[in-house]
Amino acid sequence: MVKIIGSKAWRIQVTNDGEIVVLGIRSDAGEEFDVLFNAVDSTPILTDLLTDMVRTHQGKPPRTFSANAGPNHEKSVPVQPLSTRIDRSGEKPVLVLDFGGTVLKVAVDPAELQQALSAPQA
């Protein structure tokens, strides 16, 4: 699968056995990079990336996107995990999303989640 946005592009390839994930990225300068992930090793990389994004955007106003960009883009669709569970062993509940070799853990504030679910939809 290849996605192109302006001069930037990325290619995603997963072997049928799910063992190797390749992320190919083309920069604005036209250089291409391939990043190889072993399916098991990809979890800490994703967690580190998302944690850094949260740290960087903390305290800034919420990001807004134009009508056909980012999450508003017509091809932006939700990802369906293979399984979902709640881990309550820590201080806060953790939403555990299994994408088949990559597991994403998201700390959940139950009050904030309930408020978001009960808010009127725009």
DSSP-derived secondary structure for the chain? -EEEETTEEEEEEE-TTS-EEEEEEE-TTS-EEEEEEETTTHHHHHHHHHHHHHHHHTTSPPP---TTSGGGSTT------SEEEEE-SSSS-EEEEE-SS-EEEEE--HHHHHHHHHSPP-
- Using one digit for the tens of pLDDT, what is the confidence trace for 81-100? 999 999 999 888 999 999 88
| Tokens describing residue 49 | 């990336």
For the entire predicted model, the pTM comes to 0.68
- Using one digit for the tens of pLDDT, what is the confidence trace for 26-60? 777 778 888 877 766 777 877 888 888 889 888 89
